[in-house]
Amino acid sequence: MRILVSGAAGKLGSRLIKQLRRNHEAFGADVLGNVEYFLDIEDYDACCSLVNSLAPTIVLHTAAWTDVNGCALDPARALRVNGVGTHNMAACCATSGIPMLYVSTNEVFDGARRHPYREYDRPNPQNAYGHSKWHGERALLQINPRHYIVRTAWLFAHGGGNFIQAILAAAKAGKPLRVVTNEIANPTYTSDLAEAIARLIATERFGTYHLVNQGAVSRWGFARYVLDSAGFSDTPIEPITRQQWQRPSLPPEYTALENIEASSLAINLRPWQEGVDAFLKAEGFCL
């Protein structure tokens, strides 16, 4: 397949490019970074011009404004990038008859439940980021029947800038750690997700999927597991509630996802603890 990946400089996009190049031709586009093509997804003509000139077999759309606090402070920009940007890409693909996969988020759900959300549970986003991503989902649903919507959660990736690295850096520096106990979801390793996406697009079974590492945990439990596994079991973590950690964007409380649809295609991600172990080993920790 010839595959165009938007957001190719990001955590998931860069991993997808590596994964896909094992068996396919993959091209990366982003607003920044070391990728083949510059593309601002807010620019409809630029999206169509790239899609038409490359004529890919499929477009994997991972580009997004993922700064959830930034989205809360500037919801109009969140909608422009995550909503209209996705609409642009969906329209270009639909016009050229090209399938598209859109990566969405557990934050489209309201978090009021206490059992995992399935693919066809009704989204009800509670913050600007979730709202903008849900807008992107609806645009794709309405415009291009040949689509995959893949919701995922709490990505961790090599290269820095996410939860595991932040927790380990604080522990190494001897900084006090306070982590929230009542935010619950599925930590997901980008390597596992990229592999699952590569398998999914080979099926041509279009639809909505939840692709996360199996099992759910609180932010506190996630941090505890990381520290215990990486040799920092003596480092204390003060448990706090989400209400005690004020941020511009309050995440939903419980947004664990369940993978029903991909499971029926025998696409299953391993338990999150095994994903964390693999990540730490690859980062050079002896477990």
Binding residue (CB under 6 A) for ligand NAP from 24, 37, 42, 74: 42
258 binds ligand NAP (CB under 6 A): no
154 binds ligand NAP (CB under 6 A): yes
Is position 254 annotated as part of the catalytic site?
A: no
Residues 97 to 136 in contact with ligand NAP, rule: CB under 6 A? 103, 105, 133
- Catalytic, out of 102, 117, 129, 225: 129
Give the residue with the Cβ less far from ligand NAP, 19 or 62.
62
Is the sign of the CA dihedral 17, 20, 84, 78 positive or negative? negative
30 binds ligand NAP (CB under 6 A): yes
Distance between CA 225 and CA 239 in Å, rounded? 14
Give the residue with the Cβ less far from ligand NAP, 54 or 235.
54
137 binds ligand NAP (CB under 6 A): no
Residues 6+ apart with CB under 8 A from 154: 106, 163, 185, 186, 187, 188, 212, 222
Contact 191, 176 (CB under 8 A): no
| Shortest Å distance, C-beta 32 to ligand NAP | 4
Stretch that binds ligand NAP, among 10-18, 214-222, 237-245, 253-261 (CB under 6 A): 10-18
| Shortest Å distance, C-beta 60 to ligand NAP | 10
- Of 194, 196, 82, 66, nearest to 131 (Cα)? 82
SS3 category, 103: strand
Contact 230, 286 (CB under 8 A): no
Binding residue (CB under 6 A) for ligand NAP from 153, 170, 200, 262: 153
C-alpha to C-alpha distances, 189 to 91, 128, 277, nearest whole angstrom: 30, 25, 10
Catalytic residues: 129
